[in-house]
Chains A and B, each alone.
Chain A
Amino acid sequence: MTTPTGREVALPPGDPLWHYRPIPGRYDEFQDSEGTVRPVWRQFWENLKSLEPAVLGQREEQARRLLRENGVTYNVYGAAKDLDRPWLLDPLPVLMPEAEWARLANALRQRLKVLNLLARDLYGPQQLLKWGILPGEAIHEHPGYLLPCHGMIPPDGIFLNWYAAQLARDATGAWRVLGDRTQGPSGAGYAVENRLVVSRTLPQDFHSLNVVRLASYFLTLKNSLSRLGGSLSGNPRIVVLTPGPRSSRYFEDVYLSRYLGYTLVEGGDLTVRGEGVFLKTLGGLLPVHVILRRLADSDCDPLELRSDSYLGVPALTQAVRAGQVIVVNPLGGGVLEAPILQVLLPRLCEYLLGEELQLRASDSWWCGLPEERAYVESHLDELLIRPAFQSRGKTLVGWQLSSQERGELLARIRARPTRFIGQRPVAGSTVPVWSEGQLQPWHLTLRTFAVYNGEDYDILPGGLCRVAPVSELLVESMAAGQRSKDLWVLSEQPVNTVTLLRPNVPALQLRRSPNDLPSRAADYLFWLGRLTERAEGAIRHLRGIVARLTTEVEPAGLPEMRLLVTALCDPGQSPLELQNPPPDWTMIREELWSFLSDFNRPGSLAETLDSARRTASVVRDRVAIDAWRILNQMELGDVRNEGATDPARLLMRLNQLLILCSAFSGLAAESMTRGPGWLFLDMGRRIERGLHTLRVIRGLLVDSSVELLPCLEAMLEIADSSMTYRYRYLSTLQLAPVLDLILVDETNPRSVIFQMIALGEHARRLEELCPSRPGEPSRLRQTYELLSELRLADIEALCDVDRRQDRESLARRLEEWSAALRGLSEDITHAFLSHTVAPRQLTELQTANRG
């Protein structure tokens, strides 16, 4: 084959899959314009060539699986049903020699120096404005310039504790800036996760090539936050403030908090008291010293900033102003993201540093200046038109506009010239991507990350690459493009390894099961316990039913079948109960499939599994990584649609799910410390198990008109107590011993009384951990009352049958106990979690100038 220059390219003999043909006229990362493999790639390419092409496909598959198991996702706003989109990773890294990296890093440091000086002036003396170096509109019309933050200069003068820049190469191969991320730059978590996955899928290459390690980046961030917090407290509490699970970057928020070892909080978990910020926990209010914010600064405080946003904490700005808390990055830095700065920065750099700006955007023009506007208007066909102030605003591609769109755009520019910039597109480089069984040249953007170390900036020796088959898709967003890639900076020398587990900090104070569990997290853990147990109960129950569909006997002929399906719901709730005459087999089947697979039906298995996963995602920072992997596999999969026609396969899937449930509860039992988090998880589980057992007894054993033996059989199966029963009573099935075993046998971990005993112990332990406030009724009393009632229950009497062929007294007691358990659940929620349940009734009050 030949390159555009007509030269032969050295390719591995005989294998067409390896043919890689860069796009003529574009800078290619892998080959130079002569078609020669660039030096930094040579060793890697030799290794790669020795692989069978099929191996690359396997590597990609392996990467996909690792990412899925680790729960790496990217949320896309607006996707209603399934928020999490899996993160796609190409297994081949992008390589860069260390010398080039060092130049780029220095250029980034210079850029950061200018940006910090600029922010300090804008929020301080505003000399640049007063002396006309910076056009006034650039600030005055900028919605990201936060007036309330005027005068709030961070003590060390650093507005960018961490930062990201989105880069691409121009046609000459020089790096250009597409955008700055100055608030809580996202992507570093993905970069680290990509590194973990790629280094695992290409272990030999990774170790033989002297790839510079990433871990020191987060170590520097951690040290930096501790240093800042150290000015407020000897042992500062640092939290990560997230917008919550609906945010596109929630995965990363969880990842960061876990990786750095900080509590993940939402705005509602924090409150300003006095002038300090506090974390609302089960143990009371705990002071917070540093907030690593993952919110836009305008969302951080409804009192002084955006009054319609409740993602933040009212009066946070005041707490910062009073010096009681440090927000990272400091409030106000969003102003530095504006595309207009890409026009102004070269001049500002010369003015502020007396140096030429090394890392530039592509040539840009601001329409606020008449000459520049004239240029933009006459060169519209060659330019991208971007909003001057919103970094995330829509970019219009000049040469793609219809004549009508063109006219409209020109009119908009004329009406508000200051709001637009024109910018030459950046060609971008290409890089080999494994797609459709061959290596193809895709377009590349690179996000680089910087963190302030107290004296200067450390630049992450790597980055987050995004690639796309079409160059137009390459805009500055992290979500742009189709896949990501890891960037390997290759050193000439062997590299040092750093891990976060050995940070260079003073010895920690020993602590055990701290009470700093946010009340909101406790609430979610409680519900995670309930939902996973609800799923387990439903699976056991459904398995009992489906097993009966696969026997030789025609299921329609089984007497207990109708009761079994009806008992899936609470008494009075099943559609089958309302049927008169009694439901036929078709209806029972329909009801069964609906309960199994209908996502929109509350309490169905499909919905329960989905809710459990969602609930876990909210407290992902509190769930062990292995447990999260298990939850990610807990779904019905294709049997949701096909199970109806193939009960045997469905049965197999239900069995698998049950094993996953057991694995999850096993992990909870063996890996979670017995702090408040575990107590809430387990209380949820106990309450749900008690409720489920009571409901099944009610559904199967109250109606005495149905043949009893098959019902008792089914009851023991669902309550997972068959083995114990047979061991005790052999094969004689009777009502009283069954009830004794599943209701009041204190040694049976499936019995209702066993759940009550556990609940009592948990409640007592919680009271010790979080002493109730004066005047609050004890949460223990109700548990003990229910417990003693169960202990005193006369099982023989409960087995009596009344005149209406019902075991009426059994039904009544079951109903009382269920109600008591539900009440207990509400009491727990109320006593410990009250402020998480009530919506935050924040209202703005203002007085007008009425005169």
Chain B
Amino acid sequence: MYYQVRHTTNYLYSDAVVLCQNQARLSPQTTRGQTRHSFSLEISPEPTVRRRWSDAFQNEVWYFSIETPHHRLQVTSRSLVERLAPDPIDPAATPAWERVRDLLARPTGVAERLAGQFRVESPFIMELPEARDYARQSFLPGRPILESALDLTRRIHADFHYSPATTAISTPTREVFLTRRGVCQDFAHLQITCLRSLGLAARYVSGYLVTLPPPGKPRLVGADASHAWLGLFVPEAGWVDLDPTNNLIPADRHVTIGWGRDYGDVCPIKGVFTGGGGQSIAVAVDVEPVDMPSLSADLADDVTIMPE
């Protein structure tokens, strides 16, 4: 499937912002099952500087600064992405979860050693005894890891209420546990907390969902904003994605931007600014299937800057 992704973020300030310096992680990675054919980032007003680099997770990061006074900042990213459904994997054929835990604790190969960084606490993923108890109900002795993880995904989807109004930028997982409500980011953090509390490796994935459902299928939850889910480390298979907000294994309707230990590592836009007074933010996301375009030169990975 080919998708055209458009992601617009609008900041409005009551007082002029005289200087702002930002990082955007908005460009979809080319990774297993996904190819990025083009990407453009429009920033208005025109930035003084824009630079691209790759972070420790190989996510593409755009740094930009605006050094002229402004009351409004608009960031629009456009990407053309080709997405293939991953090869189906038989959950019952995956190794027992304890074996994976022990392998990660005493790694013998490079993949497990590198997965180690997604096994420990990170700023948004702190140890939580109730998460371990909750996870234990799915991770029964000897049960295959993916089967257990899918059961946990199903239970989170059933036990927690999707409620876009309830959470701020970051709600502590402890609180999500208490109120039993949240958004995609909270559910991803929650399931990651559960998995890491068992000694497994899980990473946070930032991305998008297709906006409109294919005929006969329901619209996915969280499609009108940027989405988040998680990846679970399964030996041999590699990273298997899980979406607790929609209770499924992401296939060809998810577009991946990148991943990190938690939200903090892959925040779509973050910045520091001087001035500004009161502010408001509006975000619009649109992910549309497109016919397979003729892959010509104009679809090369390009960057355009369009001043206001």
Which of A243-251, A270-278, A810-818 forms contacts with chain B?
A270-278
Q: Is the CB of A850 within 8 A of B116?
A: no
| Residues in chain A near residue B11, CB distance under 8 A | 845
| Residues in chain A near residue B167, CB distance under 8 A | 848
Q: Is the CB of A849 within 8 A of B228?
A: yes
Instruction: Give which listed residue, A130, A842, A846, contacts B267 with CB less than 8 A.
Output: A846
With A and B bound together, what is the CA distance between A337 and B216 in angstroms? Answer: 59
| Residues in chain A near residue B272, CB distance under 8 A | 302-303, 307, 314-315, 842-845
CB distance from A813 to the nearest CB of B (A): 40
- How many residues in A have their beta carbons less than 8 Å from beta carbons of B? 42
Q: Is the CB of B273 within 8 A of A147?
A: no
6 pairs, CB–CB < 8 Å, chain A vs chain B: A136-B116, A274-B49, A307-B272, A849-B185, A849-B225, A851-B228
Tell me whether A666 is interfacial, beta carbon within 8 Å: no
Q: Is the CB of A141 within 8 A of B121?
A: yes
Q: Which residue on chain A has the smallest CB distance to residue B227?
A: A851
With A and B bound together, what is the CA distance between A38 and B121 in angstroms? Answer: 53
Tell me whether B94 is interfacial, beta carbon within 8 Å: no
* Contact A842/B55 with A136-B116, A315-B65 known, Cβ cut-off 8 Å: no
* Contact A273/B48 with A130-B114, A847-B9, A849-B184 known, Cβ cut-off 8 Å: yes
* Contact A851/B225 with A129-B113, A303-B272, A846-B269 known, Cβ cut-off 8 Å: yes
Which of B83-91, B275-283, B296-304 forms contacts with chain A?
B275-283
Q: Which residue on chain B has the smallest CB distance to residue A127?
A: B110
| Residues in chain A near residue B209, CB distance under 8 A | 851
CB distance from B296 to the nearest CB of A (A): 32
Tell me whether B21 is interfacial, beta carbon within 8 Å: yes
* Contact A132/B225 with A273-B48, A849-B263 known, Cβ cut-off 8 Å: no
Instruction: Give which listed residue, A315, A416, A850, contacts B226 with CB less than 8 A.
Output: A850
Instruction: Give which listed residue, A150, A151, A318, A846, contacts B270 with CB less than 8 A.
Output: A846
Tell me whether A299 is interfacial, beta carbon within 8 Å: no
Render A116-147 as a binary contact track against B, CB cut-off 8 A, 1 for contact: 00000000000001111000110111000001
Q: Is the CB of B268 within 8 A of A140?
A: no
**What band does the interface of chain B fall in when counting residues whose beta carbon is under 8 Å from A?**
35 or more
Q: Is the CB of A303 within 8 A of B21?
A: yes
| Residues in chain B near residue A314, CB distance under 8 A | 21, 272
Residues facing B in A805-834 (CB within 8 A) are: none
Q: Which residue on chain B has the smallest CB distance to residue A846?
A: B270
CB distance from A677 to the nearest CB of B (A): 26
CB distance from A141 to the nearest CB of B (A): 5
With A and B bound together, what is the CA distance between A605 and B10 in angstroms? Answer: 54
Q: Is the CB of B283 within 8 A of A847?
A: yes
CB distance from A475 to the nearest CB of B (A): 27
Q: Which residues on B are within 8 Å of A, measured CB to CB?
A: 9, 11, 19, 21-23, 48-49, 51, 53-56, 63, 65, 67, 107-108, 110, 113-114, 116-117, 119-121, 127, 164, 167-170, 183-185, 188, 206, 208-209, 221-228, 245, 263, 265, 267-276, 279, 281, 283, 285
Instruction: Give which listed residue, B119, B223, B225, B285, contacts A140 with CB less than 8 A.
Output: B119
| Residues in chain A near residue B273, CB distance under 8 A | 842-843, 845
CB distance from A654 to the nearest CB of B (A): 46
Q: Which residue on chain B has the smallest CB distance to residue A418?
A: B120
Q: Is the CB of A140 within 8 A of B117?
A: yes
| Residues in chain B near residue A272, CB distance under 8 A | 21, 65
* Contact A273/B67 with A846-B169, A846-B270, A848-B170 known, Cβ cut-off 8 Å: yes
Tell me whether A321 is interfacial, beta carbon within 8 Å: yes
Q: Is the CB of B265 within 8 A of A322?
A: no
Instruction: Give which listed residue, A147, A304, A415, A848, contacts B185 with CB less than 8 A.
Output: A848
| Residues in chain A near residue B283, CB distance under 8 A | 847, 850
Q: Is the CB of B23 within 8 A of A850?
A: no
| Residues in chain A near residue B127, CB distance under 8 A | 415-416
Q: Is the CB of B116 within 8 A of A848?
A: no
With A and B bound together, what is the CA distance between A148 and B119 in angstroms? Answer: 19
| Residues in chain A near residue B65, CB distance under 8 A | 272-274, 315
Q: Is the CB of A845 within 8 A of B51?
A: no
Tell me whether A841 is interfacial, beta carbon within 8 Å: yes
| Residues in chain B near residue A139, CB distance under 8 A | 117
Tell me whether A502 is interfacial, beta carbon within 8 Å: no
Residues facing B in A531-547 (CB within 8 A) are: none
| Residues in chain A near residue B271, CB distance under 8 A | 303, 844-846
Tell me whether A840 is interfacial, beta carbon within 8 Å: yes
With A and B bound together, what is the CA distance between A150 and B285 in angstroms? Answer: 31
Q: Is the CB of A147 within 8 A of B21?
A: no
Instruction: Give which listed residue, B23, B110, B120, contacts A303 with CB less than 8 A.
Output: B23
With A and B bound together, what is the CA distance between A136 and B115 in angstroms? Answer: 9
